[in-house]
């Protein structure tokens, strides 16, 4: 049964439309029907003659693009007869569609496909089309559309638009950009780096600010793009009018679709997707809190899950639901059609940057801290057998680093969900378990193997990016206890780690923490950790990296408030890494930051306060930019 079969269908006016070119029918796993959609069955069920009326179809969640290559990019939209998400439980039955044998009918699946056309052009008015095509979507894939635009030129800006076939019913126009060829000698490139956007904790101003500035080429997202919680359990969405739907903790395929769809109503998120190609990976919350290969913190595979008021979903099923919805909704490529869980992949951005995106979370991570087993994970945290990635990914990771150095790319940038550097946090965690065992600190052997690979092979110019922690941590990349390190000069370091704060998720040392208390903790953390050159707990925000062959400039931005939609931000700290130096340039941050704690330098504090009488923020700081 091959896909060529499809072209034989008698499809009158839309004869050239394709099912398989809508990549969402093929992922997450084309070759494992139990995990994917049987296109054959969908085609048999659907009757193109009974198509929806064009006027009843809406582009409900804008457009998006992602995973840029030199000659192609992924384009995404959703066009549906309703804004609600599809109830078809593909992965619950392991088969598509769900057939109700008693009543001899398909349940919650539509019999009408939607035909969608896409066009890509080099100009905003889409006058000279460079690539186009027609594909189907249907309830089976939640009416999402994901296509690969091809025949593009490297490092070039493009515009794209979808429309319902043979009609004037159009999506917004999106903008995107390809990457350079690997051997192109480009001189500069910029990325914005995000993590941890929690809808009921605030507005996604951070996404919108970069769109308003138009200051980068690509967006890198390190995960926690959504959260799985019920609003009241984590978040204060009631007070903000931001209740993530469905209004419960999420488990089913419908749940994950609905949750992604709710997040995708934030206007700043929509704007970012419409304007920039994204390169994203998931962390834990795209599935559930503190996931690893075989489980998660808040769900056990015990019979309790299936009796009485148990949630009725096994750990693996929940993960499959989350993964399927993620692939449907995110403009991400599936780089290995036979490996439905693989999102680890890499991007060459000319001779300037090799970007390696890891999955330290869902793919093959050894057991993590699930809260009730912290002592145990502490005990085994230095076991040689533990891995965050599994051997297949680990080998690929080390090989990628070597190949990148060998081909002479100036910078090696590693997107890691979780913080890489050791961080003693005993001030908050206590002395018994002073580190975060859910980060690289719980997997010391994996960290040692990474550092050993870099040091032994003289691989230079390494920049780790991380998220997950809801705070900012900037460190020299060091192997404590193994390699000499001078915290004042940075000698002995093999690179730099930039770990960024959250888009909205609250400070890990207390939601609504005061600036004074936050900076006090930052000072403690900075003093307790030699390689930690700057730390900030207070601000929600993001950072930008601007690469040239000579240096990387890192600019951290803090958001004064996310409880309302606004374009305010403060440039709280700037860093430079010179090519060949493998450490932060001294004086670190130019000797002055605006928040947190800097190892050698000063903090010039902001005074931004809320007038509770009228809900207005006093912005007494000269550096505040209103975008």
Smaller CB separation from ligand NAG, 20 or 58: 58
CA distance readout (Å), 73 to 16, 537, 566: 21, 36, 31
Query: Residue 5 or 371: which CB sits closer to ligand NAG?
Result: 371
Closer of 347 and 538 to ligand NAG (Cβ) = 538
Least distance (Å) between residue 128 CB and ligand NAG: 10
Closer of 32 and 108 to ligand NAG (Cβ): 108
> Which of 105, 406 has the CB closer to ligand NAG?
105
Q: Which CB atom, from 8 or from 307, has the smaller least distance to ligand NAG? A: 307
Least distance to ligand NAG, CB of residue 238, Å:
8
Q: Are 441 and 457 in contact (CB under 8 A)?
A: no
CB of 612 to ligand NAG, least distance (A): 9
* CA 131 to each of CA 124, 143, 166, 329: distance values in angstroms, whole numbers, following the listed order: 14, 22, 17, 22
Sheet containing 157-164, strands listed edge to edge, beginning at the edge strand earlier in sequence: 129-137, 114-121, 157-164, 174-177
| Residue 254 vs 327, nearer CB to ligand NAG | 254
SS3 label, residue 259: helix
Q: Is 399 helix (H, G, I), strand (E, B) or coil?
A: helix
Pick from 396, 390, 385, 443: which is nearest to 419 by CA? 443
At residue 68, φ and ψ (nearest 5 deg) are -70, 135
At its nearest, how many Å lie between ligand NAG and the CB of residue 334? 24
State which H helix or E strand residue 284 sits in. Answer: none
**Least Å from the CB of residue 280 to ligand NAG:** 26
Cα separation, 348 vs 68, whole angstroms:
10
Shortest Å distance, C-beta 203 to ligand NAG: 11
Measured from the CB atom, the residue of 334 and 576 that comes closer to ligand NAG is: 576
Q: Are 505 and 224 in contact (CB under 8 A)?
A: yes
Q: How far is the CB of 168 from ligand NAG (least distance, A)?
A: 14
Could you give the CA distance from residue 550 to residue 552 in angstroms, rounded to a whole number? 7
**For residues 121 and 279, which CB has a smaller minimum distance to ligand NAG in the complex?**
121
Nearest Cα neighbor of 293 from 371, 393, 430 is 393
Are 136 and 164 in contact by the 8 Å Cβ rule? The answer is: no
Q: Which is nearer to ligand NAG, 402 or 444 (CB)?
A: 444
Give the 3-state DSSP-derived string for 505-556, with helices as H, strands as E and coil as C. Answer: CCCCCCCCCCHHHHHHHHHHHHHHCCCEEEEECCCEEEEEEEECCCEEEEEE
In angstroms, rounded to a whole number, what is the distance separating the alpha carbons of residues 306 and 304?
A: 5
Q: What does the DSSP 8-state code read for residue 254?
A: H
Among positive and negative, which fits the CA dihedral 505, 511, 512, 516?
A: negative
> Shortest approach of ligand NAG to residue 616 CB, angstroms?
4
For residue 483, CA distances in Å to 173, 489, 492, 585 come to: 52, 14, 7, 20
Residue 370: CB minimum distance to ligand NAG, A: 7
Which is nearer to ligand NAG, 23 or 141 (by Cβ)? 141
Q: How far is the CB of 359 from ligand NAG (least distance, A)?
A: 22
- Residue 495's DSSP bridge partners are 462
Complex with ligand NAG: residue 127 or 168, whichever CB lies closer? 127
Nearer to ligand NAG, 10 or 481 (CB): 481
Q: Is the Cβ of residue 148 or residue 298 nearer to ligand NAG in the bound state? A: 298
d(Cα 274, Cα 76) in Å, to the nearest integer? 10
> Which residues have CB under 8 Å from 302's CB, separation 6+?
none
| 423 within 8 A of 366, measured Cβ to Cβ | no
Q: Judged by CB, which is closer to ligand NAG: 139, or 356?
A: 139
DSSP string, 155-223: T-EEEEEEEETTSS-BPPPEEEEPPPPTT-----EEEEEE----GGG---HHHHHHHHHT--SEEEE-S
Provide the 3-class DSSP secondary structure of residue 335. coil
Min dist. Cβ of residue 101 to ligand NAG (A): 13
- The least CB distance from residue 169 to ligand NAG, in Å, is 9
State the nearest-atom distance from the C-beta of 73 to ligand NAG, in Å: 21
Q: How near is the Cβ of 451 to ligand NAG at its closest, in Å?
A: 8
In terms of Cα–Cα distance, which of 496, 517, 531 is closest to 595?
A: 517
CB-nearer residue toward ligand NAG: 258 or 361:
258
Separation CA 559–CA 196 (nearest Å): 14
Supply the minimum distance, in Å, between the C-beta of residue 391 and ligand NAG.
15
DSSP element (H, E) containing 554? strand 551-559
CA–CA distance, 295 with 463 (Å, rounded to integer): 30
Q: Name which of 216, 166, 155 is nearest 14 in CA terms.
A: 166
First to last CA, the chain: 54
**Whole-angstrom Cα distance, residue 68 to residue 286?**
22
Q: Which residues bind ligand NAG (CB under 6 A)?
A: 56, 58, 81-83, 87, 89, 92, 98, 107-108, 123, 125, 127, 236, 239, 252, 298-300, 372, 382, 384, 424, 426-427, 434, 444-445, 448, 481-482, 511-512, 516-517, 520, 524, 528, 555, 563, 571, 573-574, 590, 592-594, 605, 607, 611, 614, 616, 620-621, 623
Residue 377: CB minimum distance to ligand NAG, A = 13
């Amino acid at each position: 049964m091959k896909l060529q079969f499809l072209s034989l269908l008698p499809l009158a006016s839309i004869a050239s439309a394709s099912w398989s070119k809508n990549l969402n029918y093929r992922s997450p796993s084309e070759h494992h029907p139990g995990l994917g959609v049987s296109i054959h069955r969908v085609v048999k069920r659907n009757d193109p003659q009974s198509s929806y009326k064009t006027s009843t179809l809406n582009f409900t969640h804008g457009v998006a693009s992602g995973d840029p290559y030199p000659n192609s990019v992924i384009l995404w939209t959703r066009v549906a007869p309703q804004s609600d998400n599809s109830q078809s439980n593909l992965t619950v039955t392991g088969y598509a569609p769900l057939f109700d044998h008693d009543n001899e009918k398909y349940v919650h699946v539509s019999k009408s496909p939607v035909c969608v056309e896409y066009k890509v052009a080099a100009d905003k008015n889409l006058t000279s089309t460079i690539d186009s095509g027609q594909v189907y979507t249907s309830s089976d894939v939640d009416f999402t559309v994901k296509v690969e635009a091809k025949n593009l030129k490297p490092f070039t800006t493009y515009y794209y638009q979808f429309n319902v076939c043979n009609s004037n019913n159009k999506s917004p126009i999106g903008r995107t950009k390809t990457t350079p060829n690997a051997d192109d000698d480009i001189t500069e490139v910029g990325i914005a780096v995000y993590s941890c956007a929690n809808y009921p904790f605030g507005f996604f101003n951070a996404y919108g600010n970069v769109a308003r500035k138009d200051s980068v080429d690509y967006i890198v997202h390190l995960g926690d793009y959504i959260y799985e919680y019920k609003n009241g359990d984590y978040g204060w969405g009631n007070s903000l009018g931001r209740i993530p739907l469905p209004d419960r903790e999420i488990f089913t395929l419908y749940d994950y679709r609905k949750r992604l769809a709710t997040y995708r109503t934030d206007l700043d998120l929509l704007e970012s997707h419409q304007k920039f190609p994204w390169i994203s990976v998931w962390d834990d919350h795209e599935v559930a809190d503190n996931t690893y290969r075989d489980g998660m913190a808040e769900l056990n595979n015990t019979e309790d899950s299936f009796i009485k008021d148990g949630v009725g979903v096994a750990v693996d099923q929940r993960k499959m639901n989350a993964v399927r919805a993620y692939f449907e909704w995110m403009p991400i490529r599936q780089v290995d059609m036979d490996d439905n869980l693989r999102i680890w992949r890499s991007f060459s951005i000319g001779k300037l940057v090799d970007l390696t995106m890891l999955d330290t979370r869902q793919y093959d991570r050894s057991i993590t801290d699930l809260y009730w087993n912290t002592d145990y994970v502490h005990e085994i945290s230095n076991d040689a057998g533990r891995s965050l990635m599994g051997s297949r990914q680990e080998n690929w990771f080390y090989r990628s680093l070597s190949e990148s150095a060998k081909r002479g790319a100036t910078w090696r940038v590693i997107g890691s969900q979780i913080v890489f550097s050791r961080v003693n946090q005993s001030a908050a965690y206590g002395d018994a378990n002073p580190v975060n065992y859910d980060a690289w600190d719980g997997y010391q052997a994996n960290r040692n193997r990474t550092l050993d690979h870099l040091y032994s092979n003289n691989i230079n110019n390494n920049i780790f990016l991380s998220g997950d922690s809801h705070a900012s941590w900037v460190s020299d990349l060091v192997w404590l206890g193994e390699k000499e390190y001078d915290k004042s000069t940075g000698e002995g370091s093999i690179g730099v780690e930039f770990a960024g704060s959250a888009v909205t998720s609250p400070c890990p040392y207390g939601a609504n923490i005061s600036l004074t208390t936050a900076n006090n903790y930052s000072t403690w953390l900075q003093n307790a950790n030699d390689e930690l050159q700057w730390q900030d707990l207070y601000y929600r925000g993001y950072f930008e990296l601007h690469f040239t062959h000579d240096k990387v400039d890192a600019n951290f931005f803090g958001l004064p408030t996310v409880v309302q939609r606004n374009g305010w931000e403060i440039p709280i700290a700037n860093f430079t890494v010179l090519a060949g130096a493998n450490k932060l340039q001294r004086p670190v941050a130019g000797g002055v930051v605006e928040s947190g704690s800097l190892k050698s330098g000063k903090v010039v504090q902001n005074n931004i306060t809320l007038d509770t009488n009228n809900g207005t923020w006093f912005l007494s700081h000269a550096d505040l930019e209103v975008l």
